[in-house]
Amino acid sequence: MTAIVQRGYGAPEQVLRMVRVAVPEAGDDDVLVRVRATSVNTPDWLVTAGVPGILRLAAGLRRPNLQVRGSDLAGVVAAVGANVTDLRPGDEVFGSLWTGSLGTGHGTFAEYTVVPAAQVIPKPARLSWEEAGAAVMSGLTALLASRDVGQVGPGTRVLVNGASGGVGTFAVQFARALGAHVTGVCGPRNVELVRSLGAERVIDYTKEDFTRETGRYDLVLDNVLNHPPKVTARALVPGGIYIPNSIGSPTGLLGSFPRIARARLMSRRGAVDVRAVQCVVNRENLAALAAFLVSGDVRVVIDRTYPLAEAAAAVAHMMTHRARGQIVIAG
Ligand SMILES: NC(=O)c1ccc[n+]([C@@H]2O[C@H](COP(=O)([O-])OP(=O)(O)OC[C@H]3O[C@@H](n4cnc5c(N)ncnc54)[C@H](OP(=O)(O)O)[C@@H]3O)[C@@H](O)[C@H]2O)c1
């Protein structure tokens, strides 16, 4: 099969190559999937570039231990492991390989991949391959951030910083679907997009600074981390929830980890309630995501679709930090 293989760290065009490799074999609890669509998410470009430096402790010191990037997937089951009884070859599925670990698994920037059966569900017929293959990491993160971690309900005042990106486009829609009053922060060319997703108010960050609005929001989901946490916290009501959901600037050895640590300390002092969100891929969460997508309350915003042969360009596009929604790799 063909796969995009990474031999070292660096610029996508230099380190990602399309080569022929053996089709992986499904373990007893896995399924082998013929990938029809996948997408680019933050771990893919971070591991491609090998930044921040500390990430290499988990991903591989000189080169990534897992040489194929990609975790979201939509595709057709080609074979099932001995213990898998509820899926069979020919089934159309979607899900993700993501386990929270950078150093294990197979990768989806390939013709075939192996995924634990517990991390895929049947693909709803209503979703295209591209939509299903781009929904999971960003969609689940946004769903869990708003519904569970952020406890969004009717009337909650939510601010989404980075509302036009992969996570942000989903987060605006989930918060809206859960009954919140949503304010989205984005650049000038995306104001109409974010409004169309259900934001009552859109802040163009080139004209207004949301951190100057003191005591206004019950929840801030920060997908950018471009302000110090104590500055961002000014926008919250006392005891409001702050989710610093971003790697921020991944330069140097530690990237923005010190900034995230400072946010946690702020929480201990009781000023605001700082919480983390983890993208947990399991069938229950995938089914909840699928229900929102099938109902039409939430849609997958796709910026652009690249063929597998141009995966390096797709990763480079994400590294511009100007993606509008998800970047898809299909075909
Ligand atoms: N907790 C988890 O498990 C989890 C899972 C997935 C992702 N994440 C994190 O979520 C973060 C966002 O991921 P993503 O996929 O949404 O990234 P992304 O798609 O690359 O985000 C791009 C967006 O960022 C916006 N942006 C850039 N600078 C901005 C600024 N100063 N103010 C407001 N918006 C700005 C851009 O908006 P404009 O073009 O409009 O300027 C663009 O739409 C990442 O840091 C990632 O680490 C966490």
pLDDT digits (tens, 9 = 90+) for 254-279: 888 888 888 888 877 777 999 999 99
Give the position of tokens 């020919």: 90
CB 95 within 8 A of CB 136: yes
> pLDDT tens, 126-148?
999 999 999 999 999 999 999 99
List the domains of the chain with CATH numbers: 2-135+300-330 (3.90.180.10), 138-274 (3.40.50.720)
How much distance in Å is there from the Cα of 283 to the middle of ligand 1?
25
Ligand 1, residue 162: give the atom nearest the CA. 34
Q: Residue 111 and residue 264: Cα distance in Å, rounded?
A: 41
**In ligand 1, which atom is closest to the CA atom of 190?**
40
Give the pLDDT confidence score for residue 103 in this predicted structure: 66
Which atom of ligand 1 is nearest the CA belonging to 189?
A: 40
Q: Residue 172 and residue 181: Cα distance in Å, rounded?
A: 10
Tell me the CA–centroid distance for residue 101 and ligand 1, in Å.
Answer: 20
List the chain pLDDT tens, one digit each, 331 residues.
Answer: 999 999 999 999 999 999 999 999 999 999 999 999 999 999 999 999 999 999 999 999 999 999 999 999 999 999 999 999 999 999 999 999 999 988 667 899 999 999 999 999 999 999 999 999 999 999 999 999 999 999 999 999 999 999 999 999 999 999 999 999 999 999 999 999 999 999 999 999 999 999 999 999 999 999 999 999 999 999 999 999 999 999 888 888 888 888 888 888 887 777 799 999 999 999 999 999 999 999 999 999 999 999 999 999 999 999 999 999 999 999 7
Atom 45 of ligand 1, residue of closest alpha carbon: 246
Cβ contacts of 87 within 8 Å, gap of 6 or more: 31, 77, 80, 93, 117, 120
Q: What's the gap in Å between 138 CA and the centre of ligand 1? A: 10
Closest residue CA from atom 21 of ligand 1: 165
Of 212, 211, 274, 276, the residue nearest 239 (C-alpha)? 274
Distance CA 299, CA 28 (A): 34
SS3 19: strand
* DSSP secondary structure letters along 210-225: GGGSTT-EEEEEESS-
247 closest CA partner among 223, 227, 215: 223
Residues with CB under 6 A from ligand 1: 41-42, 137-138, 141, 161-162, 164-168, 185-187, 190, 205, 223-224, 226, 245-247, 277-279, 318, 321-324
Predicted pLDDT of residue 8: 96
Contact 9, 56 (CB under 8 A): yes
- The pLDDT, as a whole number, for residue 104 is 67
Cα–ligand 1 centroid distance for 257 (angstroms) = 16
Q: How far apart are the first and last CA of the chain?
A: 13
Type of residue numbered 88: R
Alpha helices in 145-208 (DSSP H): 166-177, 191-196
Per the CB < 8 A criterion, the answer to whether 181 and 155 are in contact is yes
